[in-house]
Amino acid sequence: MHRGELFLLLCVFSVGSASRSCIRRHQIHTLEGEPFYLKHCGITSSEHKNETAAIRWFRVHASHGYVELNTQSSPRITLQSHYLEFWPVELEDNGTYFSQVGNDHQTWTLIVIKRNEHSCFSEKLVINKNVEVKKSLLIKCENSSYSELINHTSLYKNCKEIVLQGLLRGIQKDAEFEDGGYYTCVHSVHHNGKQYNLTKTYNITIIEGNSKITPAILGRKFDTVEVDLGEEVELNCTALLNKNDLFYWSIRKEDRSNPNVHEDTNMTTWTSEGKLHAFKKLTFRNVAETNLNVLYNCTVTNEEATDTKSFMLVRKEMADIPGHVFMRGIIMAVFISVAVVCVVILCVIYKVDLVLFYRRLAERDETLTDGKTYDAFVSYLKECRPDNGEEHTFAVETLPGVLEKQFGYKLCIFERDVVPGGAVVDEIQSLIEKSRRLIIVLSKSYLTNETRLELESGLHEALVERKIKIILIEFTPAGSFTFLPPSLKLLKPCRVLKWQADKSLPYNSRFWKNLLYLMPAKAIKPWRDEAEALPVLSTP
Ligand SMILES: *[C@@H]1O[C@H](CO)[C@@H](O)[C@H](O)[C@H]1NC(C)=O
Ligand SMILES: *[C@@H]1O[C@H](CO)[C@@H](O)[C@H](O)[C@H]1NC(C)=O
Ligand SMILES: *[C@@H]1O[C@H](CO)[C@@H](O)[C@H](O)[C@H]1NC(C)=O
Ligand SMILES: *[C@@H]1O[C@H](CO)[C@@H](O)[C@H](O)[C@H]1NC(C)=O
Ligand SMILES: *[C@@H]1O[C@H](CO)[C@@H](O)[C@H](O)[C@H]1NC(C)=O
Ligand SMILES: *[C@@H]1O[C@H](CO)[C@@H](O)[C@H](O)[C@H]1NC(C)=O
Ligand SMILES: *[C@@H]1O[C@H](CO)[C@@H](O)[C@H](O)[C@H]1NC(C)=O
Ligand SMILES: *[C@@H]1O[C@H](CO)[C@@H](O)[C@H](O)[C@H]1NC(C)=O
Ligand SMILES: *[C@@H]1O[C@H](CO)[C@@H](O)[C@H](O)[C@H]1NC(C)=O
């Protein structure tokens, strides 16, 4: 059967019987201001009625023997069947009493204890009880002697009211160490229109169980602790153990005399399970070289088991980069890489502009020392037929108009610079040799007639002797040049410029920039005249 049910059954039984037990003890302690009774022992219920009249009560007085008590003796005293009742008992009632039934005498010494003004109970009137931890702690607030008169019951722990567990009129739980304390039951008793308090106090002490545990040190069995020399370090050891188990640090002889190494006294607390939690520190006030790489052991032991934990002090690693610094470094590196990549991409895109800008800034001039006369030899279709008029104009007017007038280059244009007569072949050969670049204005009909010669000697210079660089200007869109000599196709794509009529016309257009980029660096001699410079070039 469940403990609670059993208790309830007992409870019902005791209330039903409502019997008042007689008190055989000679000395009775009771509390001032509370209801109290004395009952003569040895009267059986069969004799009950007949003996009522026969029982007599006396109080012993030190000075004048004894005095019989009757209802006139004190308004607080009632004589009921074979009870002497006090409503309530007071300090003046302290003394010796006896009852007489026939020849039968019974004596009691009543010690009335003064009420404690500052507490809900009197320390002289407590019932000491030990409860083993984890076992049931049961406190019932009941007094069967007055059960019919009680109409309210409350329970206090260390004079603080606690909630009663329903029908139990008390508390029941598994004992824990913090449950120890003074539990006071206060019954409110009603008699003749007056309220009285009936108190009973238990001094509950929670004691440890008998079952022993295996002592153990908590945490890992081996710990390394990183230290700097001269630092203060505490090694912490925590163990779960029984009361009489040994718990200690093993300290080497040389450390025992060292004031820097100090074993702290053990701190202990009880766990709620009734085990002892002990904590012991080994303190190094000033870590020295000799303390490093030594095992410091913390041991807990009893007859049955031993557990040890070892600590080792090691020197802190120096080059340890703290985590946040490392993170910041990575972020910086990524940021810088991205920035570098961006700059490189921009440089590639604006290479031409950057080079031109640099040339202007540094006033670089590649043309001074190579002993050549012309910056470029312009090779173009010389015959001015109606179907190649634009091309002719470009080579003879547009090209020199920009390169010579705006940028100070000196071009060699056959039609303009070569005096008629003389050996054309030799002439061309030597002119190309005197030029730094060979600009070929490429068109459909270019590869016919005598320009072939220029092309060939130029290609020879460029590809075999590497004396001249070729700049190819596609005047008519490429693709139509199916007849190009294979060697010309070897030219790097960047050395081929496409003329895009109107779009290329302004001298700040990409076409001219690219052309300038391919031309040798030359310090610009500003001999251009403004009138011609501004409207750039007239559309052909
Ligand atoms: C009560 O006492 C009288 C004599 O004193 C006796 O006659 C009677 O039987 C007793 N009654 C009981 C119930 O014992
Ligand atoms: C009460 O009575 C007891 C014994 O008779 C005595 O020792 C004690 O001092 C008395 N207390 C008071 C308050 O009179
Ligand atoms: C209550 O119990 C504890 C432990 O047994 C004891 O030390 C203390 O003196 C007791 N208190 C009183 C008032 O008897
Ligand atoms: C009931 O209260 C009276 C008066 O204080 C006391 O003598 C008696 O022991 C109490 N009975 C129980 C069961 O606590
Ligand atoms: C206790 O019971 C009496 C009558 O029996 C009543 O007058 C009184 O108010 C009750 N007190 C409480 C707190 O219930
Ligand atoms: C009874 O005890 C309560 C507290 O538990 C208190 O407030 C009340 O005054 C007491 N009554 C008497 C008559 O002592
Ligand atoms: C030991 O405990 C203290 C606090 O009580 C702490 O400051 C210290 O770092 C601990 N030592 C180790 C080695 O964990
Ligand atoms: C505290 O340490 C001492 C010394 O080792 C030991 O004798 C004692 O049992 C320890 N106390 C507890 C409660 O573990
Ligand atoms: C700790 O224990 C190890 C063996 O487990 C032993 O070698 C060492 O000397 C011990 N340290 C101390 C300080 O007793």
**Ramachandran sector of residue 488 (left: φ over 0; alpha: ψ -120 to 50; beta: rest):** alpha
Instruction: Give first-to-last CA distance, the chain, whole Å.
Output: 121
pLDDT at 532: 42
Residue 7 pLDDT level (bands cut at 50, 70, 90): very low
Residue type, 468: I
Q: What's the rounded mean pLDDT across residues 265-272?
A: 78
For the stretch 418-466, pLDDT in tens is 766 666 667 777 888 888 888 888 776 666 655 666 667 777 777 677 7
Q: What is the pLDDT of residue 447?
A: 61
- The stretch 400-428 carries a mean pLDDT of 78
Return the pLDDT at 225.
92
Give the Å distance between the CA of 250 and the centre of ligand 9.
Answer: 8
The one-letter amino acid code at 84 reads L
What number of H helices and E strands is found in the chain?
Answer: 14, 29
pLDDT of residue 276: 82
Q: Which atom of ligand 2 is nearest to the CA of 96?
A: 5
Phi and psi, residue 77, nearest 5°? -105, 135
Q: Which ligand is nearest to the CA of 189?
A: 5
Q: Which of 96-100, 131-135, 392-396 has the lowest mean pLDDT?
A: 392-396
Show the tokens assigned to 347: 């440089």
- Give the dihedral sign, CA 356/360/364/366: positive
Let me know: does 179 contact 139? Beta carbons within 8 Å: no
Signed CA dihedral, 337, 338, 339, 340: sign only: positive
Output the ligand 1 site: residues, CB below 6 A.
Answer: 49-50
Sign of CA dihedral 253, 255, 256, 258: positive
Is 454 a known active-site residue? yes
How many whole angstroms from 525 Cα to the centroid of ligand 4?
Answer: 128
The angle subtended at Cα 322 by Cα 318 and Cα 325, nearest 5°, is 125
Please count the residues of the chain.
Answer: 540
Q: What is the pLDDT, as a whole number, of residue 534?
A: 41
Which residue of 247, 277, 301 sits with most ligand 8 atoms within 8 Å of its CB, as the best mutation to test the pocket?
Answer: 247
Give percent of the chain with pLDDT exceeding 70. Answer: 81
For residues 476-503, give the mean pLDDT. Answer: 67
pLDDT band at 540, cuts 50/70/90? very low
Q: What is the mean pLDDT of the chain?
A: 81
Structural contact between residues 251 and 263, judged by C-beta atoms closer than 8 angstroms: yes
- Identify the sign of the CA torsion 234, 240, 241, 242: positive
Count Cβ atoms below 10 Å from residue 21 Cβ, excluding itself.
9
For the ranges 96-100, 412-416, 429-433, the maximum mean pLDDT occurs at 96-100
| Ligand 2 shell residues, CB under 6 Å | 91, 94-95, 109, 111
- 56-70, 137-151, 287-301, 372-386: range with lowest mean pLDDT: 372-386
Cβ–Cβ under 8 Å, residues 36 and 89: yes
Which of the two residues, 357 and 536, has the higher pLDDT score? 357
Higher pLDDT: 454 or 231? It is 231
Q: State the Cα–Cα distance between residues 351 and 359, nearest whole angstrom.
A: 12
- Residues 178-205 have a mean pLDDT of 94
Q: What is the mean pLDDT of residues 463-472?
A: 77
**Under the phi-then-psi rule, with left for phi > 0, alpha for psi from -120 to 50, and beta for the rest, what region is 336?**
alpha
Residue from 33, 34, 199 nearest 120 by CA: 199
